[in-house]
Structure 1
Amino acid sequence: MQILVLNSGSTSIKFSFFDAEEGSTPVSVFEGEVSGIGGSEAKFSFRDADGHDLAPPGAKARIGSLEEAVEFVGRAVMGPEVPKIEAIGYRVVHPGARLKGHQRITDEVLKELRAAAEFAPLHDPAVVKLIETMQAKFPAIAHYACFDTVFHETMPAEASTYPLPAEYAGKGVRRYGFHGLSCESIVVQLREAGGDFPKRLVIAHLGGGCSVTAVLEGKSIDTSMGLTPTGGIVMATRPGDLDPGLMMYLLRHHDGDVDAVEKMLNHSSGLAAFTPAGSGDMRALRAAADRGAERAGLAVKVFTRSVTKAIGSYLALMGGLDAVVFAGGIGEHDAASRQEILDGLQTLGIQLDTSRNQEKKSGLRSISAEGSPVAISVVPAEEDRMIATHVAAMSRV
């Protein structure tokens, strides 16, 4: 079965083409991206599984809208070298209050996704627009939504329930958790690697968005993000958890302008709040800290401390810890952040191998010291492969 997977952001669309034969793991055969949508110069990339560049020479253009970006993707995936699409899967951040599990997209599902925009205004409206555009372009193909929340549906009620009046729970106000497709892909990869699967596992997905998840016997029992992807630990441009009284303060100082506060919390908070340019890029912050910029150094400490606290809390929650996994852009590539996050946990039996941690490698790899009672690994997230896996399973029902 030939499956197209679309993973969209506010200014980009990543796409992958998978061959998913029954009884086997989906294999990526093509992948690409349109980035810089709406900017002065967008970029388009398209490669096969061997890394051969299939994009036409000078594949750059001003792509002012999602529809124009979809045209680029459509031409690529309908090219003569690409097999015929049999199903399309989308990464969708928030399912809203009523949808459970991954779904084939119907008119009713789209209605629920539009309603979910109040929970994920940065994410769901864009993907709904992408789905509608692709449905118009490929009307005869089945379309599927794979949610970032499904992996966390195993959380117990005491983890997912907010201490608010019951009427709000009836409106879908609860802790959903996100980065679920990433977490699920890590669980799958650890099992594929063989050996004893860790009973008590913490996954730190650290990138532009960041979350820490407690996994007990392969199932999520708690995670740092809640109703929306804005909460939890500190992120690139999002603050993580805040005092509810602080939210009232911010609203009062913005004359009750919810949109202005929401924009600040999503675009200029977190690590970005510590730099005049508003950059939440960890590499830039570390470089500035090395030059003596005190606010940049403070930003790094605030970030790593928040992750350390989350990991430590889950160690207490699970009665111990067997493994820690780092994923995401920072988690995979920033050795210093991994070191600093774990420094405060050494007395609890978490021992990092400094030389392994510094190695520039790709793929699943161990970075724990010999004899460490807690295994420490770096595992790349494979969200698109998980989407292809779920789409293939739903297509065969």
Structure 2
Amino acid sequence: MTAHLTSAQLSEQHAAEGQIVLVVNAGSSSIKCSVYRVIDDPHAEAGARAIHGAGGQIEGIGVAPRVVAHMADGRLIVDEKFPVAQVADHDAAFRLLRLVLAVGLRDTPPAAIGHRVVHGGAHFTDAVLIDDKVIEELDALTPLAPLHQPHNLAAIRAVRVAAPELPQVACFDTAFHAGNDIMAQLFALPFHYYEEGIRRYGFHGLSYEYIAHHLHTVAPDIARGRVIVAHLGNGASLCAMKDGKSVETTMGLTALDGLPMGTRCGALDAGAVLWMMAHGMDYAAIEKVLYQESGLKGISGLSSDMRELLASDSKQAKLAVDFYTYRIAQEVGKLAVVLGGLDALVFTAGIGEHAAPVRAQVCERLAPVFGIALDTAANDAGKERVSASDSRVPVFAIPTDEEGMIALHTARLLREAHVHAQPDAGAGAAARLGQ
């Protein structure tokens, strides 16, 4: 059951108390759940601010499961490793995490749940309230994001069963790039394929949107310029932005394209796939190679974890890191051509935020062309600005907050749709999420 409030009532309530939003971010190897309070802030780029409260994460699903969760005041709820058999897949991980996070929701029942959904296709270019039709349409996009879409939808369906009265909102990684020019979307295939939706969509949009908002706050002159953001995590891509808007990105139709990633191949001559088919490999076998056995893991023969590769003295591990930074620098050059120059470079996400040697290698490769100079001490310490004072192009390492962007979009959509859970509905839903 939901109650419909007038716009004036909802605005008054929102300004005074904020909206409590539970955010679920189900990735290819992890699930994050976070509680945010969204309050009005006329000084913020989005007109509102998302304040992080309790949060939890399960990482290493099916490999080395670990659960970490904190209360809003920083108190640790749990930090524990689990046997693989106990958290073998995303369904088991979500059940475990919602049990843990229910503790943090007891006194802060959510008004809604916002979900990261990787692929929105051509139809979903903004956040949307979830209903049966939306789920059906998103399910049809699963072949374009097989590592992510099923997990995103599994979390949505699990919440619908546990707390059907709670509004749910889907926020899309593709939406930030939806306004890109046709030149950035087109493949050189017969044009009817483009009309049927075979085009370059781009991903990691929620992360890029957060960085654009953050730069607007801390460096508005840079935010209005030509910025390339490197989202480097288990998945990796670059985005060229002008005036805070996406212009071009390295990922395409699927999250396989562009940079090499943890286990994904990145850009690949389609002839390699034809060769695999000609040598008897079927769809499932090829998909497994491209999505699960390639990238850093495939080249190194050791691991998809950048921390392990940087710590290793293996020649193959070094080759994997060198190729990774080579490709990043190469793509930065391409995007700078599209932008007509480069005013700032930003590193973000797990590797981008924490792997100082990767930032150093990329910037060393770019230095002869762009005049980039790192401040070694700042880079090693993980400061926000890691470039030297005489660097022609400033370089930043900024933590991203995809969940915060999801919370902002979810609260905005609730206000626009005049949807809000009844006062006792959120508390009951919070309890049932832990069942």
Counterpart in 2 of 1:204? 230
Task: Find out whether 1:328 has 2:328 as its counterpart.
Answer: no
**Contact in 1 for aligned 2:69/2:76 (Cα 8 Å):** yes
Distance verdict in 2 for CA 1:52–1:87, change over 3 Å: same
Q: How does 1:12-161 map to 2 (within 5 A)?
A: 12-23=30-41, 24-38=48-62, 42-55=65-78, 62-64=86-88, 66-79=90-103, 81-161=106-186
Counterpart in 2 of 1:215? 241
Counterpart in 2 of 1:244? 270
Counterpart in 1 of 2:204? 179
Cα offsets for 1:373-396 (capped at 9, x unmatched): 211100111100000000010000
**Contact in 1 for aligned 2:356/2:382 (Cα 8 Å):** no
**Contact in 2 for aligned 1:175/1:227 (Cα 8 Å):** yes
Matched AA of 2:198: V
Task: Find out whether 1:9 has 2:27 as its counterpart.
Answer: yes
* Gaps in structure 2 of 5+ consecutive residues: 1-18, 42-47, 417-435
Counterpart in 1 of 2:370? 349
**Contact in 1 for aligned 2:125/2:172 (Cα 8 Å):** no
Q: 1:224 aligns with which of 242, 250, 255?
A: 250
Distance verdict in 2 for CA 1:323–1:157, change over 3 Å: same
Distance verdict in 2 for CA 1:142–1:257, change over 3 Å: same
Rounded Cα–Cα distance in structure 1 between residues aligned with 2:226 and 2:29? 37
Distance verdict in 2 for CA 1:67–1:294, change over 3 Å: closer
Rounded Cα–Cα distance in structure 1 between residues aligned with 2:120 and 2:220? 35
Distance verdict in 2 for CA 1:98–1:357, change over 3 Å: same
Secondary structure of 1:386's counterpart equals helix
Q: Return 383-392 or 265-274, whichever deviates more.
A: 265-274
Distance verdict in 2 for CA 1:42–1:353, change over 3 Å: closer
Q: 2:387 aligns with which of 368, 375, 396?
A: 368
Superposition deviation, residue 97 in structure 1 = 4.0
Rounded Cα–Cα distance in structure 1 between residues aligned with 2:338 and 2:29? 38
Counterpart in 1 of 2:338? 317
Matched AA of 2:112: A
**Contact in 1 for aligned 2:62/2:87 (Cα 8 Å):** yes
Secondary structure of 1:371's counterpart equals coil
Superposition deviation, residue 77 in structure 1 = 4.2
Matched AA of 1:168: Y
Counterpart in 2 of 1:283? 307
Matched AA of 1:246: A
**Contact in 1 for aligned 2:373/2:390 (Cα 8 Å):** no
Cα offsets for 1:269-322 (capped at 9, x unmatched): 111112334x1222222333xx3x322222222111100011111222212110
Superposition deviation, residue 72 in structure 1 = 3.3
Distance verdict in 2 for CA 1:313–1:196, change over 3 Å: same
Task: Find out whether 1:387 has 2:406 as its counterpart.
Answer: yes
Distance verdict in 2 for CA 1:245–1:357, change over 3 Å: farther
Distance verdict in 2 for CA 1:166–1:194, change over 3 Å: closer
TM-score (norm 1): 0.92
Secondary structure of 1:374's counterpart equals coil
Secondary structure of 2:39's counterpart equals coil
Superposition deviation, residue 78 in structure 1 = 3.8
**Contact in 1 for aligned 2:124/2:172 (Cα 8 Å):** no
Pick 1 or 2: higher relative contact order, CA cutoff 8 A, min separation 6.
2
Identity of aligned residues (%): 35
Q: Return 94-103 or 126-135, whichever deviates more.
A: 94-103
Secondary structure of 2:153's counterpart equals helix
Give the length in aligned residue pairs: 388
Secondary structure of 1:214's counterpart equals strand
TM-score (norm 2): 0.84
Superposition deviation, residue 38 in structure 1 = 5.0
Distance verdict in 2 for CA 1:395–1:338, change over 3 Å: same
Rounded Cα–Cα distance in structure 1 between residues aligned with 2:137 and 2:251? 21
